[in-house]
């Protein structure tokens, strides 16, 4: 594309700052801890902040000024630089700029029907009330197997644009994806919470039919994604957690990226209130086939998994990391995980949702995780995410980062 003089100066100025940060010695120190964490080594816990409600941060440094085509890269750079300056924690800025491969899908033949209530604070979080459009077998028959295709033109355009922005500043590389899909989180959007949970108890045969059909959907998507060469065995992050691993790709990797060369990730947040047996029967039994062949597996999101570690172990021999949320018991989780699983500890985002920051409650929460992991030798990382609001006060994130660092300093002195 042809950039105006003003746009060129703006975007390349941001790119130069980004590249300078990527060369700092701390980047290698942090990336080494990423690798060691997933290798189950006893290292200082990585701390990350993700899913920031950027709409609540009113700062000129975050205002895009370039033309439309450049705004995607510009926004990425501005947010990275802002986070680095205000709440970087253990963020890694790699020495290359990544462009993700683009793809298309024909969809599954049905669309979500819902009512949304948008937030008024500037965050992109909204409340959803879903209409149940999968009530019958006739409804389920409408679900189609999607066709996935590689968007070569879109990928090449994105790569060309990034290469022009970073020309002479830093390398640009094309990267693929991990394999992520949460069948029940998807189904919940077509059924609503009440209908889904009631039918697990009242209509289990029908719910098995739904689970089987959506498993067919995700299996087809994954197989096509693999065949199209869209996977990446060298990711830095996997849904906000560290993904670096010397175990990927597999030892027999020959240049063709397969399922066994990449991370898989699945979860069932809607199952937070069901028993371990029901969780295993309706979710893990289906995900076992799809995700059991991945190189490594990360399970969980916001659902409490402290009482379900044993069923995960039985289903997944490649299990490496489990999400442990504020609604789980860290002691019970660490006891079940021991030294051979990474605890992806998720501190409570409510602790940054007020205009007045309370360091004491954060110190207690982080200490609780660290005490439990120390007792049981469990490797851990901290990921503050799902941040619905910061009460329009970004300083709470800065204070949270400093507080957590102080706690970890005391444990890792």
User: What are the tens digits of pLDDT across the range 306-354?
Assistant: 999 999 999 999 999 999 999 999 999 999 999 999 999 999 999 999 9
Q: In the structure, what pLDDT confidence band is assigned to residue 1 with cuts at 50, 70 and 90?
A: low
Cα-Cα-Cα-Cα dihedral sign, residues 164, 167, 173, 177: negative
% the chain with pLDDT above 90: 93
Lowest pLDDT segment from 126-130, 268-272, 379-383: 126-130
**pLDDT > 70? residue 14:** yes
User: What are the tens digits of pLDDT across the range 261-310?
Assistant: 999 999 999 999 999 999 999 999 999 999 999 999 999 999 999 999 99
% the chain with pLDDT above 70: 100
Question: What is the 3 state secondary structure string of the chain?
Answer: CCCCHHHHHHHHHHHHHHHHHHCCHHHHHHHHHHHHHHCCCCCCCEEEECCCCHHHCCCHHHCCCCCHHHHHHHHHHHHHHHHHHHCCCCCCCCCCEEEECCEEECCCCCCCCEEEEECCCCCCCEEEEECCCCCCHHHHCCCCCCCEEECHHHHHHHHHHHHHHCCCCCCEEEECECEECCHHHHHHHHHCHHHHHHHHHHCHHHHHHHHHHHHHHHHHHHHHHHHCCCECCCCCEECCEECCCCCCCCCCCCCCCCHHHCEEEECCHHHHHCCHHHHHHHHHHHHHHHHCCCCEEEECCCCCCCCCHHHHHHHCCCEEEEEECCCCCHHHHHHHHCCCCEEEECCCHHHHCCCCCCHHHHHHHHHHHHHHHHHHCCCEEEEECCCCCCCCCCHHHHHHHHHHHHHHHHHCC
What is the per-residue pLDDT for 221? 97
User: What are the tens digits of pLDDT across the range 42-57?
Assistant: 899 999 999 999 999 9
What is the per-residue pLDDT for 329? 97
What is the per-residue pLDDT for 388? 92
Q: Name the average pLDDT for the chain.
A: 96
Please state whether the predicted TM-score (pTM) of the whole model is above 0.85: yes
Lowest pLDDT segment from 48-62, 115-129, 135-149: 115-129
At 258, phi and psi to the nearest 5?
A: -110, 175
Residue position matching structure tokens 């965050």: 123
Half-sphere exposure of 212 (CA within 13 A, CB side): 9
**pLDDT > 70? residue 27:** yes
Domain limits of the chain?
5-411
Q: Are 231 and 262 in contact (CB under 8 A)?
A: yes
- CATH top class, domain 5-411: alpha beta
């Amino acid at each position: 594309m042809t950039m105006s003089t003003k746009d060129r100066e703006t975007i390349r100025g941001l790119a130069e700052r980004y590249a300078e940060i990527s060369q700092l010695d701390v980047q290698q120190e942090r990336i080494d801890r990423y690798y060691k964490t997933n290798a189950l080594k006893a290292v200082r816990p990585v701390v990350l902040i993700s899913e920031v409600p950027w709409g609540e941060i009113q700062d000129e440094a975050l205002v895009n000024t370039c033309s439309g085509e450049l705004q995607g890269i510009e926004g990425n750079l501005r947010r990275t630089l802002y986070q680095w300056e205000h709440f970087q924690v253990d963020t890694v800025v790699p020495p290359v700029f990544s462009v993700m491969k683009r793809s298309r899908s024909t969809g599954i033949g049905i669309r979500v029907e819902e009512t949304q209530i948008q937030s008024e604070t500037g965050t992109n979080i909204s409340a959803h009330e879903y209409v149940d459009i999968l009530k019958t077998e006739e409804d389920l028959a409408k679900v189609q197997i999607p066709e996935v295709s590689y968007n070569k033109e879109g990928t090449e355009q994105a790569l060309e644009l990034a290469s022009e922005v970073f020309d002479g500043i830093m390398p640009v590389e094309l990267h693929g994806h991990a394999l992520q899909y949460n069948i029940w989180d998807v189904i919940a959007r077509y059924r609503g919470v009440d209908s889904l949970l009631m039918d697990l108890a009242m209509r289990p045969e029908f719910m098995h039919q739904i689970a089987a059909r959506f498993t067919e959907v995700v299996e087809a998507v994954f197989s096509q994604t693999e065949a199209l060469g869209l996977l990446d065995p060298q990711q830095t992050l996997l849904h906000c957690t560290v993904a670096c691993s010397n175990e990927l790709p597999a030892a027999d990797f020959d240049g063709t990226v397969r399922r066994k060369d990449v991370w898989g990730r699945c979860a069932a947040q809607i199952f937070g209130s069901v028993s371990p047996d029901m969780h295993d029967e309706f979710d893990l039994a289906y995900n076992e086939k799809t995700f059991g062949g991945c190189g490594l597996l990360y399970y969980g999101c916001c659902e409490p998994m402290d009482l379900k570690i044993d069923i995960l172990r039985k289903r997944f021999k490649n299990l490496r990391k489990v999400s442990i949320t504020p609604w789980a018991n860290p002691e019970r989780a660490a006891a079940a995980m021991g030294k051979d699983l990474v605890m992806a500890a998720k501190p409570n985002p409510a602790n940054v949702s007020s205009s007045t920051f309370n360091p004491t409650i954060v110190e207690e929460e982080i200490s609780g995780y660290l005490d439990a992991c120390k007792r049981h030798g469990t490797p851990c990382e901290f990921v503050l995410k799902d941040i619905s609001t910061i009460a329009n006060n970004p300083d709470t994130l800065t204070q949270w980062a400093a507080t957590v660092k102080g706690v970890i300093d005391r444990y890792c002195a």
